[in-house]
Amino acid sequence: MSKVRKYSFYALLIFYSVITIVPFLWSLSTSFKPSEEVYQSNLIPDAPTMKAYATVFGKIQPNFQTLFANSLFIACVVVILHLIFAALAGYAFARLRFPGRDVLFFVVLGCMMIPDQLRLVPMYQVLVKMGLINTGPSNYLAIFLIKAISAADVFLMRQYFLTMPKEMEDAAKIDGAGPFQLFTRVMLPNAAPVLATVAILTFQGTWNDLFWPSIVLQSPSHWTLPFGILQFKGQFSTDWPPIMALVVLSTVPILALYTFGQRYIINVQLASSAKG
C-alpha cells in the first residue's frame, strides 16, 4: 500500500469511528453539565456537576434504581426461559427420533414468520382475559408469557446440536446412558458457547425492548429503562442532563455485556448468515 493510500485509509477509519463514538461521549458529557452549559459546544464541562445523577437516582418517580431492577429482573427471567426451552427443544429436534418430529419443527420455523406487531392485538386481548393487565405484581407475568419462547433460539440450538460429533454420544451410550443422561451429561456441557450466545442476545434484546413494555406494563413501578426514557423524555422536554444520565446509565450494562461477550455475538452473526 502506498503511503498516501495508507494515510487516507486510516483517516477514513478514524473519521467514521468519530461518528460512531462521539455522540455517546456527548451524552456522557451532557449528563455532567449544568443546564446553562447544555447547548455549549465544549465536550469537557466547565462546571461539572452530579446534579443530573442526583435527579435520576433520587427525585424522579420511578427512580433509576427501580427502572434498572425491573429491566434486570425481566431480562434475567426471559434469558432463563429461553435457555431452558431452546436447549430442550433444540436437542430433541436435532438428536432424538420420534414420529411427527419434522412436522413439529416445521411449525417452529413457521412461528419465526409471525411478527410481534401481528401478535399485539390478540395477545393483549388474551392477557386482559387472563387478568394480567393490571398494576400488581402479576403484570410481570404478562411480559414473561409474551417472551417465554423464541423460535429463532430453538433453531439456533438445533443447528448447534446437529454439528456436534456423534462420537461424543457414542462413548456415553456404550456406558449405558439413556437419551436424558446424554442430554445432561454430554450435550449440555458441550453447548456452552451457543448457550452463551442465546443468553447474551436474549438479554440484549429484552433489555433494549421498548415495544412490549410500552404496551403491557401498567404501573410506573414496573417500567423498564427504555420505557422510562420514553416517559421522562416527555416530562423533562428541555432538561437534558437527567435524560442523558438515563441514556448513559442504561447503555453501560449493555456495553459491558458486549465487551465481555463480543465473540459470542460475532459467532451468532456468523451462524445466522451462514444459515442464509
Q: Where are the beta strands (DSSP E) in the chain?
A: none
Residues 102-141 that bind other proteins (CB under 8 A): 102, 104-111, 113-126
Give the Cα separation of 186 and 90 in Å (integer): 14
Most distant pair of Cα atoms in the chain: their distance: 75
In the set 7, 8, 23, 192, which binds other proteins (CB under 8 A)? 23
Verify binding: residue 162, other proteins, rule CB under 8 A: yes
**Part of the chain binding other proteins (CB under 8 A), chosen from 50-58, 60-68, 188-196, 267-275:** 267-275
- Cβ-based nearer residue to other proteins, 124 or 140: 124
In the set 226, 242, 245, 264, which binds other proteins (CB under 8 A)? 226
DSSP secondary structure letters along 85-122: HHHHHHHHHHH---TTHHHHHHHHHHHTTS-HHHHHHH
- Cβ-based nearer residue to other proteins, 43 or 192: 43
Verify binding: residue 161, other proteins, rule CB under 8 A: no
C-alpha cell belonging to residue 25:
461521549
In the set 7, 8, 11, 21, which binds other proteins (CB under 8 A)? 21
Verify binding: residue 233, other proteins, rule CB under 8 A: yes
CB atoms within 10 A of CB 246: 27
- Cβ-based nearer residue to other proteins, 50 or 162: 162
In the set 56, 74, 92, 199, which binds other proteins (CB under 8 A)? 92
- Helix, strand, coil content of the chain in percent (nearest 5): 80, 0, 20
- Cβ-based nearer residue to other proteins, 57 or 85: 85
Residue in this structure with the C-alpha cell 438445533, named with its chain if needed: 158
In the set 141, 145, 164, 172, which binds other proteins (CB under 8 A)? 145
Evaluated on CA atoms 4, 5, 10, 13, the torsion sign reads: positive
